[in-house]
Amino acid sequence: MVDTHDNPVPGEVWKLYQLAHNLTGGVSTLLEWDANIPAFPELIQELHLAKEVIQGNIPNTPLFQSKHETVSNPVSHQLTQPYE
């Protein structure tokens, strides 16, 4: 999975965000949106979603399919040499 920071945050990522928030007791959050930047009200809506996730309300935002070639999942490949 490659995060291109050009679509709304998917539900699976919000779950990770909630876990990170719970494990750290809450730290500053940066919401990146590097391309296809929407209108300001939509960006603010993502901010409000982050606040909702902290309260336990995780949105069911889908993963977005890349418009580019399929990228293989590096986790599925076996390592030929151990990390050094």
pLDDT tens-place string over residues 25-81: 888 888 888 888 889 998 899 889 988 999 989 888 777 665 655 544 444 444 444
In the structure, what pLDDT confidence band is assigned to residue 24 with cuts at 50, 70 and 90? Answer: very high
Distance CA 72, CA 36 (A): 24
**pLDDT tens, 2-17?**
667 888 888 888 898 8
Which residue has 């309260």 as its token pair?
55
